[in-house]
Amino acid sequence: MHIESRRRPIVIALALALLATVVIVAVAVIGPALTRPDNPIQRGRPAPAFSGTTLDGETLALADLRGRPVVVNFWGPSCVPCREEFPLFVAMLAEHGADGLAIVGILKDDPPAPARDFARDYGATWPTVEDPDETIETTYRAIARPFTLFIDRDGIIRELQIGQITEAEFERKYATISGPAVDP
């Protein structure tokens, strides 16, 4: 037993070192992929079109929301950070909905039934689009959950958020999309 207690700190240290290595490699791989010139998902570029069926069976296209500030959130109920930020989205829509804010969820990596139940239980009134063949996920390079985009009234991506968002970050990023549309 004495030998086991001396090995435990070594095993923990090795596990933490391995975890740190995985995180560093992931950031090194993901970060540059999001800033490559050929990546369509960048600040200042038009948001790629998508359409799909919502959890309620309706058809929704991003183009239907043109003229409104839009927040697109890739999420799933099995994702702990997604669950933690969900009440913030409910609050932000309540606060900014009268200004035209539209939120669209994209279901990533989870089946529809638990997502529908989770959204209903939290009082979400925005649509969540199913993406069973991962077309939207692939187009938007949504390699993590949560992944949130802030799209202005002209359909231009103004901000991105990889990972859970705070209220201060949401408000700051929302401010970049809430102004009037730019006339061509």
Tokens of 86: 């969900």
In this structure, are 29 and 61 located in the same domain?
Answer: no
| 90 to 16, 50, 100, 122, 149: CA distances (angstroms) | 35, 23, 14, 8, 16
The answer, yes or no, to whether the previous bond of 146 is cis (omega within 30 of 0) is: yes
Q: What is the pLDDT of residues 83-116, one digit of tens each?
A: 999 999 999 999 999 999 999 999 988 999 999 9
In this structure, are 135 and 171 located in the same domain?
Answer: yes
| Contact by Cβ (8 Å): 125, 92 | no
Spatial distance between the Cα atoms of 91 and 93, rounded to a whole number of angstroms: 5
**Sequence-separated (6 or more) residues with CB below 8 Å from residue 36:** none
Instruction: Express as a percent the part of the chain with pLDDT over 70.
Output: 79
| 142 to 97, 128, 178: CA distances (angstroms) | 25, 15, 23
What's the whole-model pTM score? 0.78
What single-letter amino acid sits at 39?
Answer: N
In this structure, are 144 and 61 located in the same domain?
Answer: yes
Which position has the higher pLDDT, 161 or 20?
A: 161
Q: What is the pLDDT of residues 39-60, one digit of tens each?
A: 657 899 999 999 999 999 999 9
- pLDDT band of 9, cuts 50, 70, 90: confident
What number is the average pLDDT over the span 65-82? 96
In this structure, are 17 and 76 located in the same domain?
Answer: no
In this structure, are 107 and 144 located in the same domain?
Answer: yes
60 part of a folded domain: yes
Tokens of 98: 């009268």
Domain with 103 in it = 51-175
Q: How many domains does the chain have?
A: 2
- pLDDT band of 3, cuts 50, 70, 90: low
38: helix, coil or strand? coil
